[in-house]
Amino acid sequence: MVAWIVALIAVTVATWSTARMYQARRDAYGASARAELIERQARAAEARTTALTEEIRQLARKRIPAAATALSHRTAPVPGLREAAGIEGDAAHLLTEAVQAVRTAVLEERGRVDAAARSAMRGTSAKIQSLLNQSQHLLQELQHEYDDPRILQLDFRNELALRRTQATAVLCDAWPGLARQNSSLVEVVLGAQSRVAGYERIKVANHLRQERLALVARAAEPLAIALAELLANATAYSHPDTEVPVTVQQSAGRGALILVDDAGIGMDDDALKRARALLAGPSEVLLTELGDPPQTGFAVVGRLIARYGFSCHIESSPYGGMRTMLRIPAHLLTVMDDDRTLSVLAPKPVQARGDGAAAGPAPGAPAAPLASPAPATPPLATALPTPSEPAGPAGSAAPVPAGPGPVPEPGPVPEPGPGPASTAEEAPPAAGLPTRRRRSPRTASPEASTARQQAPEEPPLLRTPEQAGAAWAALQEGTLSGRRAPERPAPPASPSDDQGDDET
């Protein structure tokens, strides 16, 4: 009995010891598993911390600068998350929000800086424009007092500086600065041509159906500014020996169209896309987006387009360069009154010249003499004399009228005598030399007067703007050569290509 009790106690003790050992082993295994789990979690947390640190470093060093650069350069890439799988959703979302917040802050700051720069440039441009206008008035007074061609060159360079200043003011949302009445469309084109360096290369062709087609007062100066920028761009990016054709015509929708072609270097796809975006008239153009040095030509045209309602398109030109088409809507056009005279330098419509040539002489009228082609530079003798000019010496050549009609044949040269009735024998004039004409009007016979009244008046032959300009240049040169002192040397003419207007 006692043995049985001892055996039972021994079994009980052994069972308890085995249970204790098993529990100890389980506790040890659980502790080891928990320690391994804690270590694994620690390593994962450390990896996440390291990845987040690297993302923050990339955000500060790469993503934010790239996002700021992309605001000016649309094609610049902006990198994303470095390790998207190692970043939790909330952290990745916060990092993306940080980039957007930086982009918004940069845009707002750029807007404030650009507005401040526009305000400063607008005020400065207004002061410079006022000073240039005063200089222009002084130069005009000097032109009436002195016959120095350098004053004309200085006045032209003053006009170039005035155009640049005016374009800068328009780019800064300023008023164009000049108010006009209704102006002829062709005269506005000529005015824009006179503001451009290399204006002699620009050839204007008038294809208007209405010769007196004009622009309303509020659109005349803006159109002149925009067209001057397009002409300056065409002359700056084409060879100096090539011409820049300008065509003015009426479109089918009762509007008008001005075509500017050049044989320049053309534009690549990116530059053409950028130019079309500027010419579309965007609501805002930042000064920092115009390059260094800034190219403001298309931006100025775009600002005027957005403000006054005309449109512009640019494409490749058949001349090899670019073609810009400036379209003027019908509500900006009008017709000038008949009491206002057009400029003599304005080219006549091509259709009007063709109709006049096709009409031919009237029946019974004498045949008109054939007009010889005018020389490129007319001689000094083609200047028209004024009534106040005294008669020159007997050996001097009298000026011949510059009209397109036939030159009057030289008459007899009277010699001084004791009375007005004294005459001289007619001597044959030298070949090719003009002779002096009598100052007293000749009395025509009644038969000649009646025949002259009955004969239909022949239409005067039209002169091209180049011939008219050359005649006026010859008149001025003749006046200068007559008034210049013998010992005073002629001022050297500055080169035509050094006019301070390279590109826009």
DSSP state of 321: S
Cα–Cα distance measured from residue 21 to residue 315, given in angstroms and rounded to the nearest whole number: 93
Exposed, middle or buried, 222 (CB in 10 Å: 0-12/13-18/19+)? buried
Q: State mean pLDDT over 353-370.
A: 38
List Cα–Cα distances, 362 to 404, 457, 463, in angstroms.
19, 9, 22
Above 70 in pLDDT, residue 405? no
Which span out of 104-108, 290-294, 359-363, 456-460 was modeled with the highest average pLDDT? 104-108
- Residue 280 tokens read as 């579309």
pLDDT of residue 468: 73
Above 70 in pLDDT, residue 264? yes
pLDDT of residue 329: 92
Q: State mean pLDDT over 194-221.
A: 90
pLDDT of residue 301: 92
Q: Record the pTM.
A: 0.60
Above 70 in pLDDT, residue 496? no
Give the max Cα distance, the chain. 194
Cα–Cα distance measured from residue 229 to residue 221, given in angstroms and rounded to the nearest whole number: 12
Above 90 in pLDDT, residue 328? yes
pLDDT band at residue 282 under the 50/70/90 scheme: confident
pLDDT of residue 223: 92
To the nearest whole percent, how much of the chain has pLDDT over 90? 18
pLDDT tens figures, 129-157: 889 989 999 999 998 888 888 998 999 99
| Those residues with Cβ within 8 angstroms of residue 246's Cβ, 6 or more apart along the chain or in another chain | 189, 193, 202, 203, 204, 205, 231, 258, 259, 260, 261
Exposed, middle or buried, 503 (CB in 10 Å: 0-12/13-18/19+)? exposed
pLDDT tens figures, 461-473: 666 766 777 777 7
Q: Which of 395-399, 405-409, 493-497 has the lowest mean pLDDT?
A: 395-399
Which span out of 136-145, 358-367, 382-391 was modeled with the highest average pLDDT? 136-145
Q: Calculate the average pLDDT of the chain.
A: 74
pLDDT of residue 3: 79
pLDDT band at residue 188 under the 50/70/90 scheme: very high
Segments in 59-88 forming alpha helices (H): 64-72
Above 70 in pLDDT, residue 44? yes
